[in-house]
A and B are shown apart, each in its own frame.
Chain A
Amino acid sequence: MKSVWVFYQKEMLELLRSYKLLWIPVVFIILGIMQPLTTYYMPEILKASGNVPPGLLEGYVIPGAATVMAQALGQYGSMGMLVLALATMNSLSGERYSGTVEMVLVRPLTPATLVIAKWAALLTLLMIALGLGAIAAGYYIEQLIGSLSWSTVLAAASIYGLWLLCAVSMTLLFSAFLRAPVAAFLGLLLTAGLALAHSLLPSWLDWTPAALPDLSAQVLLQAGSVSLVGPCLSAGILILICMGGASLLIRRNILPN
Chain B
Amino acid sequence: MDSVNWGLIMPLLILQALLAIIGLISLAKVEHTRGPKWLWLIILIFGNLLGSIVYFTVGRKDI
Contacts of A143 in B (CB 8 A): 8
Contacts of B26 in A (CB 8 A): 19
Most buried by A among B22, B23, B62: B62
Contact A44 B4, CB 8 Å, known A19-B56, A33-B12, A87-B63: yes
- For the complex, is A154 an interface residue (Cβ under 8 Å from B)? no
Asked if B22 contacts A30 (CB within 8 A), the reply is: no
As a 0/1 sequence over residues 14 to 38 of chain A, the CB contacts with chain B under 8 angstroms (1 = contact) are 0000111011001101100110010
Asked if A37 contacts B8 (CB within 8 A), the reply is: yes
- For the complex, is A90 an interface residue (Cβ under 8 Å from B)? yes
Contact A26 B4, CB 8 Å, known A83-B57, A86-B63, A87-B63: no
Of the candidates B3, B8, B19, B57, the one whose C-beta lies within 8 Å of that of A87 is B57
Contact A26 B15, CB 8 Å, known A44-B1, A94-B62: yes
- Identity of the chain B residue whose Cβ is nearest the Cβ of A181 in the assembled complex: B58
As a 0/1 sequence over residues 68 to 104 of chain A, the CB contacts with chain B under 8 angstroms (1 = contact) are 0000000000000001001101100010000000000
Which B residues between 33 and 63 are near A, CB-CB below 8 angstroms? 49, 52-53, 56-57, 60, 62-63
A144 to B49 alpha-carbon distance, docked (Å): 23
Asked if A83 contacts B53 (CB within 8 A), the reply is: yes
What distance in Å separates the Cβ of A221 from its nearest Cβ neighbour in chain B?
25
- For the complex, is B18 an interface residue (Cβ under 8 Å from A)? yes
- For the complex, is A48 an interface residue (Cβ under 8 Å from B)? yes
What distance in Å separates the Cβ of A85 from its nearest Cβ neighbour in chain B?
10
Contacts of A89 in B (CB 8 A): 63
Contacts of A90 in B (CB 8 A): 62-63
Asked if A44 contacts B49 (CB within 8 A), the reply is: no
- Identity of the chain A residue whose Cβ is nearest the Cβ of B63 in the assembled complex: A90
What distance in Å separates the Cβ of A139 from its nearest Cβ neighbour in chain B?
10
- Identity of the chain A residue whose Cβ is nearest the Cβ of B25 in the assembled complex: A19
The 5 closest A-B pairs by CB, nearest first: A86-B57, A26-B19, A23-B56, A30-B15, A19-B26
Known: A18-B60, A89-B63. 16 other contacts (CB 8 A): A18-B62, A18-B63, A20-B56, A22-B22, A23-B22, A23-B53, A26-B18, A27-B19, A29-B15, A30-B19, A33-B15, A37-B9, A44-B3, A83-B57, A143-B8, A144-B8
